[in-house]
A and B are shown apart, each in its own frame.
Chain A
């Protein structure tokens, strides 16, 4: 009898250990997968996969960076001199144009003659820059020179100010606007949520009588369970038009709308954690304060709130954490323009919204796809830092930082 019990105990313990191990392993694998997919970006070429930029062999220019390529094809750079070449106008040539220059027979069966024709075009235009698929690349090295475009560099990725993942011939993957957009919307959301959140927490912890608390607290916790699309929908239907009217904006979809929606969504987290922290303030200290003739309010702000300060900070930080990762609601109300956030009243785009909006149209394994994974990694890193700091703050020795 005794040994069966022992065996059962061991088996159960083993199962628990196993499930714990499997879970940790799964999480680890997800993270590894995320980073593996993401960091592949830095070994991808600046140009769209399978394409090469070619110039006339007489052109001294050897390489161009992503920014120059973009400006060139946008018509912002028109002189070879501007990118370190000889004097002469830049002639842009896109692959499709070959079909309007040559007839079907001239290109041959199955486009067999296409590379030859392209070679002819490059040969007779000294100022040309041609964007060509590798498949049909002309062979003659002495006539056609391939430009070195290089790989996407971390500096371009993290420091770049433009996010144009589908721009041709060189898509731009600058995540700065997205990171800043995310932080901008989230931080302002917390700024908005903190005062009302703490107000409600103080009310619940200190002022409300038991009966009020008994129905109010579950209500607030219920708020945390509302799906974020619903918040997004509310934001879209109510907030966005309101903001547009109140601030007289061309469009209501803006960073402000995102912040307000996020603030509402972060409220339950902030309220619950801050309230718990305040109720955790030692009764003995409360009594000591009151017994010295402090009023209830004085006791709240001189004893209860300082005692709960680490809990309150943790509440704010976790609120930010929630806001940073929030996708749907933000996607619906911020307008999603991938530009550097300059004011609250302009559209911005956040990292999660970008991933959600673009992953569907990014071909698996492509550069864009990898860039989105790397965005996921960044998001992961941000939330990790936030959660760790919340942890550190919450476990900080109580009473520190209460003033002397």
Chain B
């Protein structure tokens, strides 16, 4: 379960997130939508503390995962990131073999057991619906895969360290329709084991894959609720305008 309470976020002087409170249940898919620059990525990157990499940023309020404040001093950021996986907008495999890409998270975790690694790699590739396509070329460079395959490889890579949360920032925006639908099917599958938060600009996609949807504008969470409701009968006028395409 992911929860934020009155979270504000600042890039130096810029107030990027304003008083956000939200609650995302375990094993659900939450979609974040909103016009460009409204703070969706910033919000998503709060949960694996990727924003920490940027100088001069500040968070206030509470950010909880399974009840634990992830911005507490006692939290080890690298441990947190093993629990909270992330898939980026552009596929970003390492310039290594397919196998080593998936094994990366285990290797940095000091896992040495070869058979265990091989097992995890296969399981992750299967979970990412990529196993059948790559099982014969695990030692080939990851760059030899298509964009869609690369993105599923990145998902497999994130799954290999057994996270409980999966953050996806426009995971299908660089892909063709077929690869996109594969990713969407995958999300529906993964929902059984993972809490998923996905940022997307594609309204149909949000409607198809998510249980809940949050609509952001200008750093504010305008509305958050059941996906069906957001897309058919939102409470706010702004939301209605946005999802019907009359805005942005």
Give the segment of A28-36, A69-77, A242-250, A295-303 that binds chain B: A295-303
Chain B contacts for A288, CB-based, 8 A? 88, 92-94, 154, 157
Query: Shortest CB–CB separation between residue A306 and chain B, in angstroms?
Result: 7
* Given known A284-B88, A284-B90, A399-B141, contact A290–B53 (CB-CB < 8 A): yes
CA distance A291 to B93 in the complex (A): 12
B139 touches A292 (CB 8 A): no
B105 interface contact, C-beta 8 A:
yes
Q: In the bound complex, how far is the Cα of B101 from the Cα of A288, in angstroms? A: 10
Q: Is the CB of B143 within 8 A of A298?
A: no
B94, B105, B139: residue with the most chain A Cβ atoms closer than 10 Å? B94
Q: Are A404 and B109 in contact (CB under 8 A)?
A: no
Tell me the smallest distance from the CB of B191 to a CB of chain A, in Å. 20
Contact with A along B86-130 (1 / 0, CB 8 A): 101010111111011000110111000000000000000000000
Binds A, one of B77-85, B200-208, B231-239: B77-85
Instruction: Given A302-B104, A302-B108, A404-B99, check contact A292 B158 (CB 8 Å).
Output: yes
Tell whether, in the assembled complex, residue B50 and residue A287 are in contact, meaning their CB atoms are under 8 Å apart: yes
- Kindly list 5 other residue pairs between chains A and B, CB separation below 8 angstroms, not including A210-B55, A290-B50: A288-B94, A291-B88, A291-B158, A292-B82, A303-B94
Interface range on chain A (Cβ under 8 Å from partner): 20 to 34
Question: Which residues of chain B come closer than 8 Å to A398, judged between CB atoms?
Answer: 95
Using known A-B contacts A291-B85, A293-B78, determine if residue A403 contacts B100 with beta carbons closer than 8 Å.
Answer: yes
Q: Which residue of A lies closest to B167 (CB)?
A: A291
- Nearest 3 pairs of A and B residues by beta carbon: A399-B95, A293-B82, A284-B92
Any chain B CB within 8 A of the CB of A294?
Answer: yes
Beta-carbon contacts under 8 Å, A266-289 to B: 282, 284-285, 287-289
Known: A287-B50, A287-B88, A288-B88. A404 touches B139 (CB 8 A): yes
Find A294's partner among B55, B78, B93 (CB 8 Å cutoff): B78
B 26-85 contacts with A by CB, 8 A: 48, 50, 53, 55, 78-82, 85
A294 / chain B contacts, CB cutoff of 8 Å: 78, 104-105, 108
Is B161 part of the contact surface with A, judged by Cβ < 8 Å?
A: yes
A292 touches B85 (CB 8 A): yes
Q: Are A292 and B99 in contact (CB under 8 A)?
A: no
Docked Cα-Cα span, A399 to B97, in Å, equals 10
Contact check, A402 vs B96: say whether CB atoms are below 8 A apart: yes
Option from A292, A303, A307 in Cβ contact (under 8 Å) with B157: A292
* Residue pair A307, B78 in contact (C-beta under 8 Å): no
Q: How far is A404 from B96 in the complex, measured between Cα atoms in Å?
A: 5
Q: Nearest Cβ distance between residue A66 and chain B, in whole angstroms?
A: 56
B contact residues, total (Cβ < 8 Å): 33
**Is A307 touching B85 in the complex (CB atoms < 8 A)?**
no
Residue in B108, B139, B158 whose beta carbon sits within 8 Å of that of A298 in the complex: B108
Q: Which of A143-165 contact B (CB under 8 A)?
A: none
Which residue of chain B lies nearest to A404 when distances are taken between CB atoms in the complex? B97
CA distance A284 to B80 in the complex (A): 19
Chain A 300-357 interface residues, beta-carbon cutoff 8 Å to B? 302-303, 306-307
Q: How far is the CA of A320 from the CA of B154 in the complex (A)?
A: 40
The answer to whether B92 and A287 touch across the interface, beta carbons within 8 angstroms, is yes
Assess whether A293 is in contact with B109, with CB atoms less than 8 Å apart. Answer: yes
Find chain B residues with CB under 8 A from A284 CB. Answer: 88, 90, 92
Q: A306: nearest residue on chain B (CB-CB)?
A: B95
Residues of B within 8 A of A282 (CB): 92
- A197 to B139, alpha carbons, bound, how many Å? 34
Do residues A293 and B139 form an inter-chain contact, with CB atoms below 8 A?
no
Assuming the A-B contacts A287-B50, A287-B53, A287-B88, are A293 and B161 also in contact, with contact meaning beta carbons closer than 8 angstroms in the complex? yes
Smallest CB–CB gap between B103 and chain A, Å?
10
What's the nearest-Cβ distance from chain B to residue A214, in Å? 14
Name A295's contact: one of B93, B108, B141 (CB within 8 Å): B108
What is the CB-to-nearest-CB distance from B96 to chain A, in angstroms, rounded to a whole number? 6
Does B92 lie within 8 Å of A285, measured CB to CB?
Answer: yes
> Would you give 7 A-B contacts (Cβ < 8 Å), ordered by A?
A282-B92, A291-B86, A293-B79, A294-B78, A298-B108, A398-B95, A403-B100
Q: Specify which chain A residues have a CB less than 8 angstroms from the CB of B50 in the assembled complex.
A: 287, 290-291
Q: Which residues of B contact A403 (CB under 8 A)?
A: 96, 100
Closest chain-A Cβ to B41's Cβ sits at a distance in Å of 12
Q: Is the CB of B81 within 8 A of A293?
A: yes
